[in-house]
Amino acid sequence: MLRLSVDTPIFAKEILSRKPEFSSQPNSKGYLPLHLASAKGNIELVKDLLQVYIEACLVRDLEGRIPLHTAAINGRVEVLEALVGAKPMTTWFLTNEGEPILHLCVKQENDDLKCIKKLVELVDAKEREEFLKMKDNDDNTLLHISTATKRIKV
């Protein structure tokens, strides 16, 4: 079966227009085209894929990550906006290991806080405090993870 590739966006868009059902076909790692486009930061393709199969926002890969997690891990701020705009509840999804999205952001090696700031901004103001206090399976908060990884800026 032919898989949608985000390495060639024009080709991917053409396939998507002719065979939209491919948007729901995972690869061997459980990645949907939305996971791959999110990781690459291909915002145009992300938006096209969301129009065809919005529920892809909720699909976990074999590591238990949804496309929003993949975008955050790779520092794709613009993609975060599109994905949260499509399915706001995904900001609350944990990985299979019980990690909140902010924990994934902090564990990345780059010191850029743009993803963390954007995610906090995208969460409803009434829920921000609770969002920032989310814990992983080991009962660690964002502060614990930040301290353990020596991410003082966070």
> For 48-93, how does the pLDDT look when each residue is reduced to its tens digit (9 = 90+)?
999 999 999 999 999 999 999 999 999 999 999 999 999 999 999 9
Give the separation between CA 119 and CA 72, rounded to whole angstroms: 9
Sign of CA dihedral 126, 132, 138, 143: negative
- Look at residue 111 in the predicted model and tell me its pLDDT: 57
Comparing 15-19, 75-79, 117-121, 147-151, which segment has the lowest mean pLDDT? 15-19
What tens digit of pLDDT does each residue of 120-138 get?
A: 999 999 999 999 999 999 9
**Region 113-122 average pLDDT:** 93
Enter the pTM of the model.
0.86
Whether 95 has a pLDDT exceeding 70, the answer reads yes
All domains in the chain, ordered by first residue: 9-148 (1.25.40.20)
Whether 7 has a pLDDT exceeding 60, the answer reads no
**Region 95-121 average pLDDT:** 88
- Note whether 59 and 66 are within 8 A (CB): yes
- Look at residue 1 in the predicted model and tell me its pLDDT: 47
What percentage of the chain has pLDDT greater than the value 90?
A: 69
- Look at residue 80 in the predicted model and tell me its pLDDT: 97
State the burial class of residue 91 (Cβ atoms within 10 Å of its Cβ: 0-12, 13-18, 19+): buried
- Look at residue 153 in the predicted model and tell me its pLDDT: 75
- Look at residue 147 in the predicted model and tell me its pLDDT: 83
